[in-house]
Structure 1
Amino acid sequence: MINNLHDIKTQLENIVNPEVFNLETNENFAASYKEERRIFLIKRLKLQIKIMLIVGVTITSFFIWFNPLLQQKIYAFQLGFGCELCIVFCWFLCGTKLGIRYPSIIFLGLCWLANCVIQIKTALLFGYVEPMTNIWNLMFLTQATIIPVQWRIHLLSQIGTIICYLGLCIIYRHKFNLSINHYVEQGLYLFWTGIICVFSVHLYEKLRKQEFTAKRELEIAQQQSEKLLLNILPSVIAQQLKTQPTTIADIFHDVTVLFADIVGFTELSSHTSPPQLVELLNKIFSLFDELAEKHGIEKIKTIGDAYMAVAGLPNYRRDHAFAIANMALDMQNSVHQFNYDYGLSFSIRVGISTGPVVAGVIGLKKFAYDLWGDTVNTASRMESHGIPNHIQVCDATYQLLKDDYLLEKRGLIAIKGKGEMTTYLLHGVKFGLMK
């Protein structure tokens, strides 16, 4: 008994909250977070490109304006114009499949364009190999603040910059003309700038992942709450209740109500364990739920071993009586099949009535969608005064079904609280109308 309860509890947890408990290792979560981070990276790369274009124009203009030599002005223009073209090309890549799929390549390209390409071009044009630490630090800080994701590519961009510079030193056999203290000071600034940038990106990304996890948990919880609410209430009523949390009541002038009772279930409960009894009832009612879904019928509730459903609300349909009749016939067949599969001898007694009802949600706790009115009472009496393995309908339902279904007049029946009523037994669909 304890094991069964534990299994049921585990199943309920999986149904209600299937992805929340282990999002860090969930493959779907990892893919979703990776996609979210990739989109974020593309958006921020476009922002960085715009900033770099503006910065490039201002710096190039400065060198052209303040350089006295024409040749140096030309070199500055060539260098600035070439860098701007490369930046524009990176902007173009952001809109291509390659760039969207591999935004990290654009990230590294922008960083090394400012740090390495300018360093190389300056060495080629002027033979100047001194480290441009101001530009490097500016690029590292810019990308850490604008694009604070994937700390590994930040670290790779910094290492690549240093390797490029050391390579130039070897190629040009650069001699360090300034004091050793100057290079140590610049190196320390560069080192700690890089460390702080990488560490801040790591912390930001960790926080962003936690935020994404919490957001995903909230979305899943909301989806499951919505799903549970729709299992309790019709979708139209659920939406109305969320926007208007007051008493909901509507009059429907033409619907068909069904009551079904499992005959013999009460006797079975006297010599069957409670878990087995509930399991059997659940299997039968699950079959009925599937039929309600199939025929577009609204299940209202279960009362012990009785099942209540209605057609024609909350959304009106002209064929409400036909839908209920078809479901009632299918319910008989499903019970026969259930008895065959499990070696049981249940029978079902069904009552149907057509007419106006009041439907709504009342109460503050454990609220449910319910029906009231004489039509509901009549349907209940049709069932309770019916015959096992038969479907009893009132005269109003008979008038709607008589041309398309096989019905047998049962005659005047004394109905509790109603007096004598003419009722009919529904046997099936007329042959020519069977699908």
Structure 2
Amino acid sequence: MSTSRSTSRSTPPGASRSAFRITASAAADERGSPVGASGWDTHSAAHSDNQQETLLAEVRADGPAKTRKPAARRGPADPVKALMHHHRELCERAVDPLEIAAGLEAHGVTDRTAARFRHRDVFSLAEELYARVPRGGESTQAAERPARAAGPSAGRRPGRAGHALLTLLPGAVCALAVAMQSMEPIEVAEGTVRLAAGALGLSGVAVALALCLRRGPLRAAGRTVPAVRLWTLWLLVYAVYGEGAQAQLIGGGPDASWPMTTAPLVGLALAVAPAAWCAHLFSVQARRRLDGSRGLEEFASGARPLLLGVVALYVCALTTLLVLTGLVLPHKALVPAVALGTLLFLARLLIVHGFPDSAAAGLAAACAVEVAAPALLLAGRLPGCGFLASPVEAAVGAWGTGAVPALACGAAALGLLAHATAALSRASAHSV
């Protein structure tokens, strides 16, 4: 008896309550029900009736919770906060959540990654980032968003009409240059005069094309790889002189003069207008699909057929223009010209949407094949090296002199189309 009294005196006042809570919690956990009578009777002699009711209420309210071990935290309590600080510059300059979603996707954030930030997809995560990050000039951006969503305003229609007329300028200048070459005074003139007239016409076409590519849907400021201009120039020169030079090399030449094939150049120059219209159509429709999509896969599944449809539409327009040109300037280079035009269109589309290196690689591959063909023909004239010229001669014998540019540009165009189908179906390709 004395031992129990001394023990009760030495126990702190809060210890009996703690012991009661532990005992009651254990009993409640074992039975899956509130504290039973036995647990209450154990301490009934130590408390009054009012104290008993108070303690019982505490046990029922928070007694079992005291005995559970707190779950181990994984990462910060606000996982989006770290992502917000990491991409703060992107979020501050974004005009709408779609730009943030495109930027996140460009940095490798996918829907699976967004799930770790407690969001169903990248678009939902971008909306939270857009709402939480303060931006300077919010009123100005708010004024820009409706204008951007509403599309071109009435005040910008003359500018768009000017861009449409500008896309017709390369074709008009090229047709005028070819017509001048066909005039009797120049046609019967000596080689120097004809060469000067041809150089003047090519310069005019180049200037018109440069003006066209600096504005409108084909504009790609600061994205063009310098080598792209060189590859494009070679492909166009080969379209004009390549087949004639190749035929002379196979026949034992070359001769003093190479025949020109101007019809493909005129058709390609006229096709700049439908190329610009198709590029604009793709950009607008892709943006609309991006606005209505709630996931990356949903957008990609809609962007792929859109791209294929736009490319098919351009190929049809290009083929029609080349056929109409052939009625005035007869030629047999329809297939090579279609392949070249498709290659140039896909390359420009990739450059506009931020993939200049891929476009340069495709153009360079086509140029390499076209350079290799005459090089093999010349190398085949060396003693014991006739086998080098056999592939080119076999291709020309089977499909004509247009076989080499058709195969080179066609294979490169198919490669760029496969790459564009994957690259242009990403949201980051349409963030600007």
* TM-score normalised to structure 1 length: 0.20
- Looking at secondary structure, tell me which structure has more strand per residue: 1
* TM-score normalised to structure 2 length: 0.20
The higher relative CO (CA closer than 8 Å, separation ≥ 6) is in: 2
